[in-house]
Amino acid sequence: MSAATLQLKQIIHQSKTSSKYTHMKQRITVAKGDGIGPEIMDATLSILLAAGAQIEIDEIEVGEKVYLAGNTAGIAPEAWDIIRRNKVFLKAPITTPQGGGYKSLNVTTRKFLGLYANIRPCISLSPFVHTKHPQMDVVIVRENEEDLYAGIEHQQTDEVVQCLKLISRPGCEKIVRYAFEYAKAYGRKKVTCFTKDNIMKQTDGLFHQVFDEIAVEYPEIENEHWIIDIGAAKLADTPEIFDVLVMPNLYGDVLSDVAAQIAGSVGLAGSANIGQECAMFEAIHGSAPRRAGQNLANPSGLLQGAVMMLNHIGQNAVAENVQNAWLKTIEEGIHTYDIYKEGVSTQKVGTKEFAEAIIRNLGQKPSNLKAVTYGKGQALHLPVYQRKAPQQKELVGVDLFVHWSGTDANELASLVNTINLSQVQLTMITNRGIKVWPDGFQETFCTDHWRCRFKPVAGAAVNKQDVIELLQKAEAASIDIIKTENLYAFNGKPAFSLGQGQ
């Protein structure tokens, strides 16, 4: 055992026996993960315990070893029991082996445990950590369960694959409300929503609509919506104009890495994954296998996750103490290799020495960086989503998707017109969403994946039996239908997209 390890163990022992905080101990689940995981977890836990965190630790094994032992989920059933019982999970990064159908443990954990909110604060530590954005202080609140990450994908024709983008009202309400409640709890002034609802009017349109509905419940907090493309550009250019940002899953995944990197380094950011019952806290970076076992890695990302965990379990004074000691250490220029810079840093240290410096600084506040005060906040408890009264839903047409390897839409229209019913008829064909019949452009590039839209003729209606009849006629005419999508109106309002150019 090295002298540094021995010293850390002594500190942990002392903290267990002489804590000045009087909380009930909270059992937490800890996974040390792979690569640099064990080193940064040991460093993080030593800091928490030295600061007097009232935690009891149940350690579980997840990640590479579990995957390679034949468990494609990377976690054993007994480990789930411990995570579900303790409800609070501090996880170091893991290595997902390449190939072999291994499922991402992160995505599985988020979905199984309903961890709908992913919170990532990205704050500049300028001038002690280099950034082009010294005023940046942004929190990204990312929807964590749905959107394209539902992972529902199909190949439908030789040329076309699809991924379903699922956005739900409960999903939107929960994440948007979380963003506003977070802003309220942490004294933030503004919540900004990013979507692409000028293009995706149904899915991103719902997210934006719910944002507008919920924003009015928080008149004390400013709100605004940006189209994601210009929003992302502004975030990368002038992040200081943003405060709390809320967005659907994919955009949040991409932009939270951008935000963390431009704030200083992805190696400095932590994240919280919050659900109604359970929560998971982690660093945002991976297991950096090439740095493993060398006492090189920066434990700051995981420590930031752990500070969020302490706030979540109501140990705010300990969280505050750890965060201020960390800020003080950063401003003293005691830096790991990844943020070390000649002229700014004063000492290049390893993982353990960095942890020891933070422990020495416990009880102190930074002099130049802004010290934090966390008040008495605890986990944000949002009301459980209540299903709304059903709307009036009416079938108003059907899209039949056809696999056809011709190129002339007029030819396909002649073929598909043969299955028309007297009261339900072909009205439009699109290819990748663009109208190609009637009155298409010959310049439009077409794949082998065609959408044929059937609507009732004036004065008629359409029912499910008509859809079945259309499918039967298509089968008899050897038209290869790959899927159908019913067209509905909700409360009298059409709830599907038009063809582009329609």
Question: Which 3 state secondary structure label does DSSP give 190?
Answer: strand
Give the orientation angle of helix 3-17 with respect to helix 351-360, to 10 degrees. 40
Residue with tokens 């929003």: 231
Angstrom distance (rounded) from CA 205 to CA 209:
6
For residues 258 to 277, the per-residue mask of contacts with ligand NAD, x marking binding by CB under 6 A and - elsewhere, is ---------x----------
Omega within 30 of 0 (cis) for the link into 383: no
Least distance in angstroms from the C-beta of 283 to ligand NAD: 6
Q: Are 124 and 144 in contact (CB under 8 A)?
A: no
Q: What is the 3-state secondary structure (H, E, C) of 31-74?
A: ECCCCCHHHHHHHHHHHHHHCCCCEEEEEECECHHHHHCCCCCC
Number of C-beta neighbours around residue 10 at 10 A: 12
Is 87 near ligand NAD (CB under 6 A)? Answer: no
**Residue 286 in contact with ligand NAD, rule: CB under 6 A:** yes
Out of 42, 145, 282, 320, point to the residue binding ligand NAD (CB under 6 A). 282
Q: Which residue is nearest to ligand NAD (CB)?
A: 286
Helix (H) or strand (E) holding 471, with range, is: helix 464-476
Note whether 301 binds ligand NAD by CB under 6 A: yes
Binding to ligand NAD (CB under 6 A) within 97-126 occurs at 106
Pick the piece of the chain touching ligand NAD (CB under 6 A) from 17-25, 72-80, 193-201, 282-290. 282-290
Q: Are 41 and 29 in contact (CB under 8 A)?
A: no
Q: Return the residues of window 330-349 that contact ligand NAD according to CB under 6 A.
A: 338
Q: With binding defined as CB under 6 A, does residue 304 bind ligand NAD?
A: no
> Which CB atom, from 15 or from 345, has the smaller least distance to ligand NAD?
345
The residue to which tokens 């990377």 are assigned = 74
Q: Does 29 bind ligand NAD (CB under 6 A)?
A: no
Q: How far is the CB of 181 from ligand NAD (least distance, A)?
A: 25
Among 44, 54, 86, 95, the residue binding ligand NAD under the rule CB under 6 A is: 95
Residue 379: Cβ within 10 Å count? 16
Residue 285 in contact with ligand NAD, rule: CB under 6 A: yes
Contact between 433 and 499 (Cβ < 8 Å): yes
Q: Report in angstroms how near the CB of residue 71 gets to ligand NAD at its nearest.
A: 16
By rule CB under 6 A, what string of x and - marks binding of each residue 35-74 to ligand NAD? -x---x----------------------------------
Q: How far is the CB of 382 from ligand NAD (least distance, A)?
A: 25
Rank residues 199 and 292 by Cβ distance to ligand NAD and give the closer one. 292
Asked whether position 287 contacts ligand NAD by CB under 6 A, the answer is: yes
Does 256 sit near ligand NAD (CB under 6 A)? no
Q: Any contact of residue 297 with ligand NAD (CB under 6 A)?
A: yes
Geometric angle at alpha carbon 350, from 348 and 352, rounded to 5°: 135
Burial status of residue 478 (CB atoms within 10 A of its CB: 0-12, 13-18, 19 or more)? exposed
Count of positions on this chain that bind ligand NAD (CB under 6 A)? 20
HEC secondary structure over 277-309: CCEEEEECCCCCHHHCCCCCCCCHHHHHHHHHH
Binding residue (CB under 6 A) for ligand NAD from 93, 121, 264, 397: 93
Query: By the criterion CB under 6 A, which residues form the site for ligand NAD?
Result: 36, 40, 93-96, 106, 267, 282, 285-291, 297-298, 301, 338
